[in-house]
Amino acid sequence: MIKKICLTFLLFFTLQNNVAQIAKTEAKDSISKWNKVNKVGLDISQISFVNWNAGGNNSISGLLRGHFIRAYVNGNLHWKNELITRYGINKQEGQEVRKTDDQLQINSTLGYRKDTISNWYYAGKFNFNTQFANGYAYPNTDLAISRAFAPGYVFLGIGAEYSRKDLNLNLYLSPLTNKTTLVFDQRLANQGAFGVDKAIYDSNGNLVKEGKNTRTEVGILITNQWKKEIWTNITLEHRISLYTDYINKFGNIDLDWQLQLAMVVNQYVKANIGTHIIYDDDIKFKEEIAGVQVIKGPRVQLKQILGIGIEYNF
């Protein structure tokens, strides 16, 4: 009897030990090499007037935004993928709904370093940027001045990346980057919008050759990102991209610079103040004159953002 009890306990502890080892192995194997970030937010602002002596128009604005990151880290190899989406509208009394913000951006960077000490990586970068909906030179809503994939920008290149997680600092240097401009709207392509070759017409105004839908450049790309908590619950984030083409006007730099200040009220409520500056010599400014769209030269584009709303992380 005692022998049977001893054998039973021995079998029990053996099984328990085996189960523990299996559980430990499974737990180790289940540790994912993927890190993820999911953020969605909604900013709303509204103003209304009743018998207001100074006057004013009732209005309401909304901005829906999303930020998603998938980062893979395995030894000295890292692969970061990022999706940024923004779409905002405004409705004023006596006016139709107008778009205030529109962005669809995909970033992907693959890097490899020789050892765990170095902060420098051999890297390749892919970037795609376009919008969701038509853009107009208000109040003219008959002719769109931009559409989804018109323009669209694709960057693909190789270079070196300096990354410091402790400083939230990232610097990418590429001496060889292909930039492709997409204009998948034939009317805009025929105008030569966003730098593509425009259509050719004969002396009578008849179309001889349609404008191209793509333009390819090869040049230098430099990007930099930095993020820091400058005060309790106040974070400053900076992103900049500089590009110049080797063949077409080398030294003429395309600039895309974003600066954002995020202030945390509580777990869900946050306020954002930001600026976005763009300069691209291939983007011509369009102005409405006597009901006709007139194409002007390139100009510095500036957008300022101030919003407070809810943000959910999952």
pLDDT at 290: 67
Asked whether the predicted pLDDT for residue 9 surpasses 80, the reply is no
State how far the Cα of 283 lies from the Cα of 146, in Å rounded to an integer.
Answer: 11
Q: What is the mean pLDDT of residues 149-174?
A: 96
Q: What is the mean pLDDT of residues 170-188?
A: 97
| Average model confidence (pLDDT) across the chain | 88
What does the pLDDT look like over 96-118, one tens digit per residue? Answer: 999 999 999 999 999 999 998 99
pLDDT at 156: 98
pLDDT at 292: 67
What does the pLDDT look like over 230-278, one tens digit per residue? Answer: 999 999 999 999 999 998 889 999 999 999 999 999 989 999 999 999 9
Model pTM score: 0.84
